[in-house]
Structure 1
Amino acid sequence: MDPMQHTTSAGGRGFSRKWTFILLLAILCGTALGIYVWDKYVPNSKHEQPDFGGLKKPVFYQGKMMEHAAIGEKESLKLPIDTVKNELDPNLTYEASTGSIIITTQNKVVRLRTSQLTVMVNEKPFNLKFPAVEEGGIQFIPMDPLKSLYGVELRESEETGAVLMFKEGDSLHWSKAIAYPDKPERTIPLRSGPSIKNTIYVDLKQGERVLVWGEEGEWLHVQLPNGYMGYVKKDQLTPDQDEVIPKEEEPKSFVPWKPKRGKINVTWEQIVNKNPDTSKIPAMPGLDVVSPTWFQLDDGEGTIKNAADPAYVKWAHANGYQVWALFSNGFEPKRTTDALSSYDKRMKMIKQLLAYAQMYSLQGINIDFENVSLKDKQNLVQFVREMTPLLHEQGLILSMDVTGKSDSESWSLFYDRKALVDSLDYMMLMAYDEYWASSPKAGSVASLPWVEKSVVQLMKEDQIPASKLILGIPFYTRIWTEDPKTGKVTSKAVFMETPQRIIKEKKLTPVFSPETGQNYLEYQEDGKTIKIWMEDETSIKARMELVKKYDLAGVASWRRGYETPEVWSLIDSYLAGP
């Protein structure tokens, strides 16, 4: 073989392999480019039927589908209770023991019972067209009361059964599919996701309206009136006229009474065995309200023991005082648990208080529930919510006494102060008993730093408005006795004038305690140390300065009869001042 011929043949084969490789590479690149172009620019034309997750009558609010579907149709439409509770009224309560749905608004207490057409509104009967029902273990509320109580609007699709829910005042942003005048048959795809590669749910007609709930890049998240939701490119929609769900006229709010000067001066009247002889009560200049401890929970059924005295009311009104009678739970936790446990028992208490208020011409009720089980926290809130509209309907003021915040379950933690104040006209902070009667350590009944801390905690942590917060102040102090032999500490509560008498009798000189903001007295007697943190003009002035500093609603004192006469003018001068 010719060597030269052999070389040429080998070179030809190398040349052929090179072009084959280049050709294959070009094909591969072309294919990759084609795939890239297809993926990026060629839209998915597949269609997919929208799915409501198996729900026959899904409920939507602001583009979000609720967990449970509605039932009924048109006038008989009903919403599941969890939807109403989650989206309209977190305070709605279902009482399983009586099959009651309880709704409280600013001026109404409404009770619906399962399968009953009669509904109680402020304890007056009204008839519904359709009752509340239970289906599949879920309570359903008919449309009529929802519209009247919450101003909710429900739009039901005849095509799909979907229900779109709107609240009064909601702003709805509508857009419509753009028009192609030269291509009237062209449609705009509503896709399952924000990409041209997502499947198409619906082919929108030109000019078809959609609700816009949000945006994601160059896509808008939209919903059709029939409930179907998906994504449309921004440039394929044009803004249409927005819509605002009309508001019903607001009911007139109850305006709680307060004196012309603005700040309220309340004192409690403790009734132990009998009402006081009013002819012996001295003048109390600047006092606005007396709160006698007349009503007490007597049993777990909600019966109230009544110690009211018409003669006391006549005296109070003759002297220009309002009467806000106090209702106590007797500090009995078991009795309280039972009485708060059901709507019927709570309403029994409320109706008795309403009757007594009318009978004795009262201007308000003051609730004093103490030593309550933590498990009753929500039921106590519910009791107050149910009471407020009915008292306001009779023009009565509702106030409630609460302790300062602490880690005690039965004396502090059971108060949901933030929830309670929404229903109350006034909240009285019982800012005393920092050191209580049986305390193992001697101390002030209410040192000023402790009182101020209590006020600030309620205002900051529980958002109690100053305009509703009344500072409770003590008209008493404690004489503490420390026995070095036994190591025991004992105390007894005394009137304000007792330390003053001791000072005169024993020729003592009190010293000011900057730690407590009070005058302090200490002396020896029979080998024992006597300590008194005094309630006097100095401490009362300091407490009134707190009312002024935080612009509180006023002051309430425990109790009438413990004070020295000059206290009333002192308090009045602060409340009347600028």
Structure 2
Amino acid sequence: MDRRIKLALFGTAAAFIIIIIAVVSILIDKFKPSNEIMQLTDYYKVGDSEVLVILQDHVYEKKGLLLDGKVYLDLDTVVNEFNHRFYWDYNENILTYTTPDEILQAEAERSEYSVTKSMIKTKVASDYPIVKVFVDQVYLSIDFVQKYSDMNYQYYENPSRVVIDYKWGDYLYTEASKPTQLRTEASIKSPILVQLPADTELMYVDMEETPVKGFSKVMTKDGVIGYVRNKFIKESAYKTLTSSFQAPEYTSQTRPGKINMVFHQVFNTDATANLEKLVKATKSVNVISPTWFRVNDVSGTIDSIATKEYVEKANDLGLEVWALVNDVDIEINMYELLSHTSRRETLSNALIEAAMEYKLNGINVDFEKIPSDAGIHYIQFLRELSVKCRNNGIVLSVDSYVPSEYTKYYDREEQGKIVDYVVVMAYDEHYAGSEIAGPVASIGFVKDAVRNILTMVPKNKVLIAIPFYTRLWKETSDGKVTSESFPMTPIEELLQSNGVEATWNEEAGCYYAEFEKDNATYRVWQEEDKSIEEKMKVIYDADVAGIASWKLGLEKESIWNVIVRYMN
């Protein structure tokens, strides 16, 4: 064979071999897993005093702090994720946490906190500062939070991170079937985060994400989240995460029978004189709530017209006395009052001291002028007051508007946990100042009030308040609408004197009348025996704890024959 041909064939073969080697090398490189290692400190980047927070199965958006070897979490995270009862006073820099029978308070940076039972405050030493404050950022010790919250945590170093379990239930797990790697991405070319020995337990995360072929996204016990090849893990199985945390029980001082409470509006200390006459006209009433206390100013002091003679007379008549405190008759900035810890304490102590001095059975809180930005402070006041009431055997009831979107900051669900009775004021559907005339409490309004409150508060804590009054509405020719409140008997006499006969309005669940006089139209949606009975049917069917009535002395005596039929 010609030498040149031989050389050409040899060269072609050599080139072919080189190409094959190159292709094989490329293929080997393509399918060969990367051995590159990424340090966890580069993967989870945290500052010198920071702690990465891993909530259950995901990296949280906010970092904690590591201060003097202790982990601290920001207040918003604690409140929103773990325990909404931690309360921070930005005015006085005081943290408060309220259990059913204790009020715990800690100031920033101090290694101590106080505990109040009844009205006695005791200092308790702590091994660490409970609260740290940096300008307007508040951080709480995770150890202190854990004592009162349904959560567990584990801290790990390099990098600093805390893994927190707080959502209990079934989670999908697997194990490494042989030694393998946890990688940063769903690719064998991505860096290795952790070398996984055989039988390493792994929890699946982000199951809702579109799976990557051949890989699963998992998390190790110490909170490292990455990807593992499916060929190197075992069959998955659900594991139930449980908690041994025992939540404190908010015991209630509810009564075994139905409550029939009447509000008694009084204006001076002479109310005892007429009490027996008013009460003897009633039937089945077992609680009376005199309007004795009024918030005096933003400092938390109260005005009082209470008397021991009244309590003694009421008790002799078989009545418990749940004295009312209100914010209605005076212009007070309730935000300024309730957002200061010292002022809330002054107010709650004043009420407890009065209850003990006059031997009251209960306190009724009737705060109707709470602005939306004071909602959380109002609820905190009720928590603190409930502790003192519970520890002193005083029933705590709270008057509340009917549930609505614009009053949800009254947080009736929390009220239902911490107080003894929630009194729903199922009246003033149309109130003084309303631009449209209408009933005080239509049957639909009452039905909605009952139905909605029972989604928030246990029925054995619900009292539905009904009206003993009616409004006479006046509309003039220029369209101006005004109203005047009338007791039951006087409104009947007014209609009779004007030659008007009311007719039953099925939709409103009450009698309706209208007449013309002095170039004005007058309208009345009348509250009387039948309208009250329609309300009592709804209340009876709901099997709530009872009723309250506004107010004693406005009713016809025959009303009590209606009410008593539905109180057993």
Corresponding residue number in structure 1 for 2:349: 351
Equivalences for 1:431-510 in 2 at 5 Å? Answer: 431-439=426-434, 442-456=437-451, 463-464=456-457, 466-481=459-474, 490-502=482-494, 509-510=501-502
- Code of the aligned partner of 1:563: E
Corresponding residue number in structure 2 for 1:7: none
Corresponding residue number in structure 2 for 1:539: 531
Cα RMSD (Å) = 3.8
CA, structure 1 residues 128+36, in 2 after alignment: closer, same or farther (shift >3 Å)?
Answer: same
- Distance across 2 between alignment mates of 1:240 and 1:528: 77
Moved more, 540-549 or 422-431: 422-431
CA, structure 1 residues 150+490, in 2 after alignment: closer, same or farther (shift >3 Å)?
Answer: closer
Corresponding residue number in structure 2 for 1:264: 259
Equivalences for 1:397-436 in 2 at 5 Å? Answer: 397-404=395-402, 412=407, 415-436=410-431
Q: CA deviation at 1:503?
A: 5.9
- For the pair 1:251 / 2:248, whether they are aligned, the reply is yes
Q: CA deviation at 1:314?
A: 2.1
- Distance across 2 between alignment mates of 1:448 and 1:494: 19
- For the pair 1:87 / 2:81, whether they are aligned, the reply is yes
Corresponding residue number in structure 2 for 1:329: 327
- Distance across 1 between alignment mates of 2:287 and 2:418: 20
CA, structure 1 residues 246+419, in 2 after alignment: closer, same or farther (shift >3 Å)?
Answer: closer
Q: CA deviation at 1:345?
A: 0.9
- Code of the aligned partner of 1:44: S
Does the 8 Å CA contact 1:400/1:427 hold for their aligned counterparts?
A: yes
- 1:56-86, Cα deviation, whole Å (9 max, x unpaired): 5333221323422331466x44444344234
Is the partner of 2:321 in helix, strand or coil?
Answer: strand
Q: CA deviation at 1:413?
A: 7.0
- Code of the aligned partner of 1:443: G
- Distance across 2 between alignment mates of 1:252 and 1:382: 18
Q: CA deviation at 1:515?
A: 3.7
Is the partner of 2:333 in helix, strand or coil?
Answer: helix
- Distance across 2 between alignment mates of 1:432 and 1:302: 29
CA, structure 1 residues 90+29, in 2 after alignment: closer, same or farther (shift >3 Å)?
Answer: farther
Counterpart selection for 1:315 from 313, 316, 319: 313
- Code of the aligned partner of 2:86: L
- For the pair 1:282 / 2:279, whether they are aligned, the reply is yes
- For the pair 1:65 / 2:62, whether they are aligned, the reply is no
Q: CA deviation at 1:173?
A: 7.1
Does the 8 Å CA contact 2:254/2:421 hold for their aligned counterparts?
A: no
- 1:215-273, Cα deviation, whole Å (9 max, x unpaired): 5565444444544332223443457996855414443431341343xx43221111222
- Distance across 2 between alignment mates of 1:72 and 1:562: 64
Q: CA deviation at 1:201?
A: 1.0
- Distance across 1 between alignment mates of 2:391 and 2:490: 45
- 1:511-542, Cα deviation, whole Å (9 max, x unpaired): 21234221234455667654432211111011
Q: CA deviation at 1:557?
A: 0.8
- For the pair 1:365 / 2:363, whether they are aligned, the reply is yes
- What percent identity do the matched residue pairs reach? 26
Moved more, 212-221 or 361-370: 212-221
Q: CA deviation at 1:172?
A: 7.7
Does the 8 Å CA contact 1:160/1:227 hold for their aligned counterparts?
A: no
- Code of the aligned partner of 2:250: S
Is the partner of 1:387 in helix, strand or coil?
Answer: helix
- Distance across 2 between alignment mates of 1:25 and 1:318: 115
- For the pair 1:150 / 2:144, whether they are aligned, the reply is no
CA, structure 1 residues 104+37, in 2 after alignment: closer, same or farther (shift >3 Å)?
Answer: farther
Is the partner of 1:509 in helix, strand or coil?
Answer: coil
CA, structure 1 residues 190+440, in 2 after alignment: closer, same or farther (shift >3 Å)?
Answer: closer
Counterpart selection for 2:381 from 360, 365, 383: 383
- Code of the aligned partner of 2:301: T
Equivalences for 1:165-244 in 2 at 5 Å? Answer: 165-167=164-166, 176-179=175-178, 187-210=179-202, 213=205, 216=211, 218-238=214-234, 244=241
- Code of the aligned partner of 2:89: E
- Distance across 1 between alignment mates of 2:557 and 2:342: 45
- Code of the aligned partner of 1:427: V
Counterpart selection for 1:49 from 28, 32, 39: 39
Is the partner of 1:58 in helix, strand or coil?
Answer: strand
- Code of the aligned partner of 2:278: I
Does the 8 Å CA contact 1:384/1:423 hold for their aligned counterparts?
A: yes
- Code of the aligned partner of 1:42: K
Does the 8 Å CA contact 1:191/1:198 hold for their aligned counterparts?
A: yes
Q: CA deviation at 1:416?
A: 4.3
- Distance across 2 between alignment mates of 1:62 and 1:414: 29
Q: CA deviation at 1:308?
A: 1.7
CA, structure 1 residues 528+334, in 2 after alignment: closer, same or farther (shift >3 Å)?
Answer: closer
**TM-score (norm. length: structure 2):** 0.82
Corresponding residue number in structure 2 for 1:112: 106
- Distance across 2 between alignment mates of 1:82 and 1:522: 55
- Code of the aligned partner of 1:492: E
Is the partner of 1:202 in helix, strand or coil?
Answer: strand
Does the 8 Å CA contact 2:186/2:215 hold for their aligned counterparts?
A: yes
Does the 8 Å CA contact 1:340/1:346 hold for their aligned counterparts?
A: yes
- Code of the aligned partner of 2:383: R
- Distance across 2 between alignment mates of 1:499 and 1:561: 14
Q: CA deviation at 1:166?
A: 3.1
Bigger radius of gyration: 1
- Distance across 2 between alignment mates of 1:225 and 1:563: 68
CA, structure 1 residues 221+347, in 2 after alignment: closer, same or farther (shift >3 Å)?
Answer: farther
- Distance across 2 between alignment mates of 1:444 and 1:172: 54
- Distance across 1 between alignment mates of 2:133 and 2:147: 24
- Distance across 2 between alignment mates of 1:79 and 1:349: 31
CA, structure 1 residues 315+522, in 2 after alignment: closer, same or farther (shift >3 Å)?
Answer: same
CA, structure 1 residues 512+36, in 2 after alignment: closer, same or farther (shift >3 Å)?
Answer: farther
Moved more, 549-558 or 193-202: 549-558
Equivalences for 1:28-43 in 2 at 5 Å? Answer: 38-39=29-30, 41-43=31-33
- 1:151-191, Cα deviation, whole Å (9 max, x unpaired): 54332336654332334957787755435xxxxxxx42121
- Distance across 2 between alignment mates of 1:256 and 1:135: 38
- Distance across 2 between alignment mates of 1:63 and 1:414: 32
- Distance across 2 between alignment mates of 1:308 and 1:28: 104
Does the 8 Å CA contact 1:44/1:199 hold for their aligned counterparts?
A: yes
- Code of the aligned partner of 1:336: M
Does the 8 Å CA contact 1:475/1:557 hold for their aligned counterparts?
A: yes
Counterpart selection for 2:557 from 562, 565, 568: 565
- Code of the aligned partner of 2:465: G
Moved more, 282-291 or 205-214: 205-214
CA, structure 1 residues 229+325, in 2 after alignment: closer, same or farther (shift >3 Å)?
Answer: same
Is the partner of 1:70 in helix, strand or coil?
Answer: strand
- Code of the aligned partner of 1:71: L
Does the 8 Å CA contact 1:295/1:327 hold for their aligned counterparts?
A: yes
- Distance across 1 between alignment mates of 2:453 and 2:18: 77
Does the 8 Å CA contact 2:56/2:166 hold for their aligned counterparts?
A: no
- Distance across 2 between alignment mates of 1:226 and 1:439: 61
- Distance across 2 between alignment mates of 1:564 and 1:151: 53
Ranges in structure 1 where 5+ consecutive residues have no aligned partner: 1-15, 180-186
CA, structure 1 residues 78+561, in 2 after alignment: closer, same or farther (shift >3 Å)?
Answer: same
CA, structure 1 residues 537+198, in 2 after alignment: closer, same or farther (shift >3 Å)?
Answer: same
- Code of the aligned partner of 2:148: L
Does the 8 Å CA contact 2:272/2:309 hold for their aligned counterparts?
A: no
Q: CA deviation at 1:127?
A: 1.8
